[in-house]
Structure 1
């Protein structure tokens, strides 16, 4: 057997291994093979009729950017790697997070990224071809070099000529304003090395460093892009994997609102955002919100604008088994699976009429629906649980509208075992005014088993509107276009039931629909 024939044989065996795994997601975008960490989504943009998304993965101990593209946000074509480590990069070096910028009037797309190596710093790469298959790194990289031997910290001149400690880490996508280019870089290393270790309050908390250029080669430091507020974030929270953009006024896109959004992670608290004003080369946050509340498992985000002006985002869903001891049953199960690196469903973001964030899954996901099931009305008596026998399994979507009535709590449980002992619970708690997901009983090899709780204040008479997606081991839920959460749930093979319940009084399900979902991943 030739080496090529053996490669084909091994590829077939790997595909069959994945197809037998009931936990592997079918319609959440996933790295095609192997276990990887980190898997930050990066470099998202719309270019010549295709949506493009990159992601970090590991090969031979170094970090690369994978690259996929799609016409419909559902079915993805894999490209050759967009960015590979340089020849002088060592073990664990390579390409770390960044963004992308489309400049069609110049016939080019530009990637900004953090080169993580002994010669680290802010870097650029450019592509001009039809499908963005070939990216040419800037010959001057790193354009914002970091201090030798101290990755993530650069010394630059500030607007007043004084030396400033900044970073080239995790740049945003570039944006253009009044003919000039701008980029902002993250503060993780400066925060930890200079702010926390040296107990310097001036360098604590999340911020970004803003740079300006006329030619994409020479960059001037303009100062901190914004000031964080301890009412919202902790002194030990960083700002990394950031994305900055005007927030649309509608889920359909159109003319942007008057507000900008800064979407980012802190490494200890996960995905979060600010909404505020952008003027005079400074961003003024007016409100803060989180997309991860109990840990950092809803991880680094990335977004793009499409031709309609929709703002579409993804985030890396960090495996709940990451962090388990090497000899644990959870880690052994993860290792045996041979895969990781799942993205959230693409969701649209917009500014609500009340000035707060709205979000919902993209409409394109509806093309995966089939075998619809409907039920007009169903009452949930206090303390009674109903098994909905019309839908079950590991690949479906549920839409439910619930009038809370006298109930203080309503629950929609998925991936339930026949005896009800095992389940993943999506709920609304009226007393806590909280939308929640509970994975403490999701399965025997769950890893991080938690209750995630997001604030959701319901108006008098407002019904609870849920959209819940189950996809292998992923449960992703949206509530009233105002909150969403996603967790891994490693359920046992026979845990496939759906159940509803209410507590504290009667609730009424006024509308209930479900669909089986066609997998869009090839395996």
Structure 2
């Protein structure tokens, strides 16, 4: 059997051999990847568009194109030609920024922010390969001076006999919002009103960027990113063309930026099985100068299924299609975890792993898993549950001794277990990426960069009391790039 690097297509090999380049998370062959855009399920295939700078591995908003990849299984991806390119002298001459995709009576249509003039549309062929920008662009231009709304990062949907579109934005002195427009033909639009008013009176988000609005169960969800804290969402009610947020949640618990190493933007699609599938942009956590030299920057999260619990809260889990990558299964069960001890799991370590572990928390103050550990614990990343704080924790303070790594720190996401409820951690490690799901109710995401080749070990640990490992299953995961 060939090694994971040998399975990568030739055009990926020069950077595929980079020890920090993930092997089963999607990234383009080279250069800079940003926000997921226009994700759509079209004739049995999953299409992923994304912000892309063809000039190098760095963020340059004035050169943003739309990269494009396609998959039949949400696991293996084929690169397709660039979908959108800035038109010299056109309304998007300084960048094709974020937006969405719709099915316009059988015609695939992208709606996006064309910098600097406003929201634009482009129509595609049936294979979504060739795109033609509408001559009326920008179809949603900037309003006259004095109006408080603006076009930006649109998403759109069909309702009744019209199209509706929201543009992300903010209201000065109030906080994040979006602006609603409507149209009969996607070409001629009229502004209606602010789509929602932030109810985070004491701490509103800085803004609403890359908005994605969709029904989920018996509620509606507005997914968005703020330029301070990354991916957020509201769950609420939708009536009379207005959204009323009832619950606010976060999908990122770190800062925002191209050196943050956190989950900074997301977008979803509805697939043929009526599943709401989420994709998220995870930028690098290394210095930008190092990113440029590496020749690649940014990866997508694993596709996640979003749903609502019986209590109306968001549930998130990795798509089950990922099980096709499993290799070399190892399993342990019924281990007592004594207070303030660490249990090394022999023959379990690696750089591309899936770990599924279930614990009885007992009376421990903290319990979980250490991953990517060096034998002397000089490098380690801690993933654990803190019952007292009712938090899932990802501690990357000691994840790397590499001085080029600028994103470390601790993430804490709220998670409360019911009485006698077991803790289930579902962990994905892909070289420099970690995603940890807990009880399908919380997920933390982080870029780490172990510098030592021996930082591959996995340990269990408990603090302040005794816990019990009920079971742990570990698999090596194969690369997603076919030979």
Common topology (TM > 0.5): yes
Paired residue for 1:29? Answer: 26
Residue 44 (str. 1) matches residue 39 (str. 2): yes
Paired residue for 2:4? Answer: none
C-alpha contact (below 8 Å) 2:234/2:246 kept by paired residues: yes
Matched residue SS, 1:165: coil
C-alpha contact (below 8 Å) 1:207/1:224 kept by paired residues: yes
> For each residue in 1:109-133, what CA deviation from the matched residue of structure 2 results, as whole angstroms up to 9, or x when unmatched?
111100013xx1011111242x210
Q: 1:231 to 1:41 in 2, by over 3 A?
A: same
Paired residue for 1:167? Answer: 150
Alpha-carbon offset, residue 232 of structure 1: 7.0
Residue 300 (str. 1) matches residue 265 (str. 2): yes
C-alpha contact (below 8 Å) 2:11/2:29 kept by paired residues: no
Paired residue for 1:254? Answer: none
Paired residue for 1:253? Answer: none
Alpha-carbon offset, residue 387 of structure 1: 0.7
Correspondences of 1:285-434 after superposition (within 5 Å):
285-296=245-256, 297-321=262-286, 324=287, 331-434=288-391
Q: 1:101 to 1:220 in 2, by over 3 A?
A: same
Paired residue for 1:180? Answer: 162
Correspondences of 1:110-129 after superposition (within 5 Å):
110-117=109-116, 120-129=117-126
Alignment partners' CA distance in 1, 2:346 and 2:148: 60
Paired residue for 1:159? Answer: none
Correspondences of 1:135-146 after superposition (within 5 Å):
135-146=131-142
Alignment partners' CA distance in 2, 1:285 and 1:55: 28
Matched residue SS, 2:147: strand
C-alpha contact (below 8 Å) 1:232/1:288 kept by paired residues: no
Flag the structure with higher strand content.
2
Alpha-carbon offset, residue 440 of structure 1: 0.6
Alpha-carbon offset, residue 334 of structure 1: 3.0
Alpha-carbon offset, residue 64 of structure 1: 0.5
Greater shift after overlay, 416-425 or 84-93? Answer: 84-93
Alignment partners' CA distance in 1, 2:168 and 2:91: 23
C-alpha contact (below 8 Å) 2:112/2:153 kept by paired residues: yes
C-alpha contact (below 8 Å) 1:46/1:102 kept by paired residues: no
Gaps of 5+ in 2: 1-7, 257-261
Gaps of 5+ in 1: 1-10, 147-153, 157-162, 196-200, 248-256, 325-330
Alignment partners' CA distance in 2, 1:14 and 1:79: 13
Paired residue for 1:238? Answer: 207
Q: 1:91 to 1:51 in 2, by over 3 A?
A: closer
C-alpha contact (below 8 Å) 1:473/1:490 kept by paired residues: yes
Paired residue for 1:160? Answer: none
Greater shift after overlay, 163-172 or 39-48? Answer: 163-172
Paired residue for 1:489? Answer: 448
1:447 to 394, 406, 409: 406
Matched residue SS, 2:368: strand
Alignment partners' CA distance in 2, 1:233 and 1:181: 32
Alignment partners' CA distance in 1, 2:292 and 2:82: 24
Q: 1:312 to 1:219 in 2, by over 3 A?
A: same
Matched residue SS, 1:206: strand
Q: 1:387 to 1:241 in 2, by over 3 A?
A: same
Alignment partners' CA distance in 2, 1:217 and 1:90: 15
Paired residue for 2:428? Answer: 469
C-alpha contact (below 8 Å) 1:155/1:166 kept by paired residues: no
Matched residue SS, 1:406: coil
Provide the aligned C-alpha RMSD in A.
2.0
How many residues are paired up?
A: 462
Q: 1:91 to 1:288 in 2, by over 3 A?
A: closer
Matched residue SS, 1:39: strand
Alpha-carbon offset, residue 230 of structure 1: 2.6
Alpha-carbon offset, residue 13 of structure 1: 8.5
Alignment partners' CA distance in 1, 2:101 and 2:476: 35
Matched residue SS, 1:73: coil
TM-score, scaled relative to structure 1: 0.85
Alignment partners' CA distance in 2, 1:92 and 1:339: 24
Paired residue for 2:51? Answer: 56
